[in-house]
Amino acid sequence: MIIKNLITHVISAPLEQPFYFSQGYVYRRSSVIVEVIGEDGTSGFGECMCHGQQSPFLASSFVENCYKEEVIGKDSLDVEVIWETLYNKARPFGQQGIAMNALSGIDIALWDLNGKQLKQPISRLIGGRFREKLAAYATGFYRLDGKKYPETSVEDALKFKEEGFTAMKLKVGFTPEKDIEYIRSIRKAVGPDVRLMVDFNACYSQAVARRIILELVPENIYFYEEILTPEDMEGYKALRNLTASYMAAGEEIFGKIEINNWLKNGALDIYQPDVSSAGGITECKKMAAIAQAYNTAIMPHAWGSGVSLAASLQFISSLPYTPMSFCPSELFLEFDRSSHPFRKELINDGIRYENGYIYVPDAPGLGIEVDRDILEKYKVVK
């Protein structure tokens, strides 16, 4: 279908109560929703993921000023041709970061439009589904002023357990001593059968990380996420085989070229590209194929609105097990439970969660319907 227009919807809303993590406070949740409109009036939607401290106008400006003119007039089925054209245009000044973030939203929107045109969910168009539902881990545990820790997080962990979650990811990075005490308290509360992941958001040196990892061996942590900065590949290589826990990172790894460099260096056990930031569905499928060649797992980061969550579901459902076997290791979907004013509203609560699993939508495209009233309600103009 020929694309007649491309629109960026910048939406943002203040949090009723700001929360903080190892890198500072988050005061609002934002998204850039990309809409591509076909010649028959059908729209496809995608999202450029916004980190907690990221202005949405970075990605929207890149889409409008660099990519838009290259998309209008093209056939939406030429999704890879469009991807390579946009990447090549930005190559001299943006091979990673916001350039790939912006490209991701366009790519997802094209796949959504194609799915609607062909009356198939995206997962069926990119190879089919290896799973109809995904085991979810609860992400939350951000800190609030006026609350006591670890007591508040222990309450949150027990609530998630009651809701059926068998895995959850903690937010830490508030000095080694406090982190160790905090993690031990939550492990004691939830028991040995809950998989605990721990996210540091890139706040420690290799030496401090080594101490934390070794002291927490008895707590059987499933994976350590971003314990070092994303530039410290050598540090990750040094920590990777320190214990039985997996080393994870990758929300700041963009595209096939960069992930191949990490993989050939053997730096991580689990890679976490975000489909709404690392290059979209087109590029993330290639990243996953390269990881498969190294017999290494992809377990994507997911922290956007419902549009990004739906894209992650379609993408992850299409990934083969690593490796294929009678009893394969299951992939987990990150399910953000932190405060978000429009995550569910934007897609009319179109994602089904039940007993620790999220079901992949079967409707065409992303499988969800974007509520235009919510786009208008939370619209911001610079």
Taking the C-alpha atoms of residue 34 and residue 101, their distance in angstroms, rounded to an integer, is 12
| Residue from 9, 51, 301, 340 carrying the catalytic annotation | 301
Strands of 53-191 (E only): list them: 133-139, 143-144, 167-171
> CB of 273 within 8 A of CB of 260?
no
Taking the C-alpha atoms of residue 138 and residue 315, their distance in angstroms, rounded to an integer, is 19
Q: Collapse the DSSP code of 270 into the 3-class scheme (helix H, G, I; strand E, B; otherwise coil) and give the result.
A: strand
> Cα–Cα distances in Å, from 259 out to 96, 104, 124, 207, 322?
12, 16, 25, 25, 16
Residue type, 172: V
Residue with tokens 């995206």: 122
Residue type, 295: N
A 10 A CB-CB count for 45 gives 27
Measured in residues, the chain has a length of 382
Residue 124's closest CA among 375, 321, 365? 365
Q: Is residue 301 annotated as a catalytic residue, yes or no?
A: yes
Structure tokens, 94: 């943006």
> CB of 36 within 8 A of CB of 71?
yes
Q: Which residues are registered as beta bridge partners of 198?
A: 170, 224
Largest Cα–Cα distance of the chain, in whole Å? Answer: 60
> CB of 277 within 8 A of CB of 251?
yes
Catalytic residues: 301
